[in-house]
Amino acid sequence: MADRNPRLALEFCGMPFATPLVLLSGCVGFGEEYTRVAGFSNRDAGAICLKGTTDQRRLGNPPHRVYETPAGMLNAIGLQNPGVDTVVDEILPTLDFEETRFIANVSGSTLEEYIEVTKRFDDSPIDAIEINISCPNVKEGGVAFGNDPAMSARVVEACRTATRKPLITKLSPNQTDIAGNARLCIEAGSDGLAVINTLMGMAIDIEARRPWIGNNQGGLSGPAIKPIALLKVHQVYQVSKPHGVPIIGQGGITTPEDAIEFLLAGASTVGVGTALFYDPLILPKINQGILDYLDRHGLHQVAQITGALRLNAPERASECSG
């Protein structure tokens, strides 16, 4: 979008976003991944979530790290990153904060690591901090922080004391009650929520009789998870709406229609990730599709779509198809 359309502008956690699109962590490196693609512009995104960052440099998991599956992609990168000092001292100064908002993604294996990395980003020009609570807590036997509501809240509370910047908690779908987890994270001080992170999955090489992914399992993203992600956004919105806590809806968004579905379900912004791998120039298409939807429905601003879902009555869950 050479000229940003003001109808796409919104406020998220007190930050002005030029569009509702957010480039997801792990898909665009540290903001430069697609800038060498002709026609790509960070200005088409309201915000960019930088790659997951830990206290010390990490090499990541052994290969294979990525494997394409039907309607999706498995990845197990293992949080490869140069460490927070390098990100703050060498990478952030190269980013153009006039183009878009930049959100750091904080990861850690212990509560102390989350605190230290958050403190480091607090003393930087980064616009906001996203907490990746899907990391395993090595002190708790490798249980992922995000799959235990009490542990999730502890991480949020600890990070809240370490920064004045907006905090966004990235929720795991690999848990029993995502809405309950969201409520505890909000009470602990989360300003926003990202719904959802990847689902755990596996793919097997039947000739070698081994998993294709070097880490045996990985996070599934892409269109395959979209129906699950939509439901999780809807469920979390019931908890976040009374508190005025906005949601980044994400999981399989590849078209304007996908993005609008997430907005209707309760998301204020929508994350684009896997789709960038096969169409790096998809952002202007989604933005234009949202504008066309506003025109068709006589709406003035993108924020009017958020939570405008009209539920069928009665709403009830069903596990059977017949």
Residues recorded for the chain: 322
The amino acid sitting at 253 is: I
Can you list the positions of beta strands (E) in the chain? 10-12, 15-17, 21-23, 47-53, 66-69, 72-75, 101-106, 128-132, 136-137, 143-144, 167-171, 192-195, 199-201, 204-205, 210-211, 218-221, 247-250, 269-272
Q: Are strands 47-53 and 21-23 parallel, antiparallel or unpaired?
A: parallel
> Hey, what are 122's tokens?
């607090």
- As a whole number of angstroms, the distance between CA 172 and CA 149 comes to 10
**C-alpha torsion 21→25→31→37, nearest 10:** -70
Asked whether the beta carbons of 26 and 55 are under 8 A apart, the reply is no
Beta carbons of 124 and 146 less than 8 angstroms apart: no
Strands (E), 62-211: 66-69, 72-75, 101-106, 128-132, 136-137, 143-144, 167-171, 192-195, 199-201, 204-205, 210-211
For tokens 């490869």, name the residue: 80
Residue 66 in tokens: 């990525």
Query: How many of the other CB atoms lie within 10 Å of CB of 89?
Result: 12
Give me 6's structure tokens: 């003001």
Q: Which residues are catalytic?
A: 135
- Residue 239 sits at φ, ψ, to 5 deg, of -90, -40
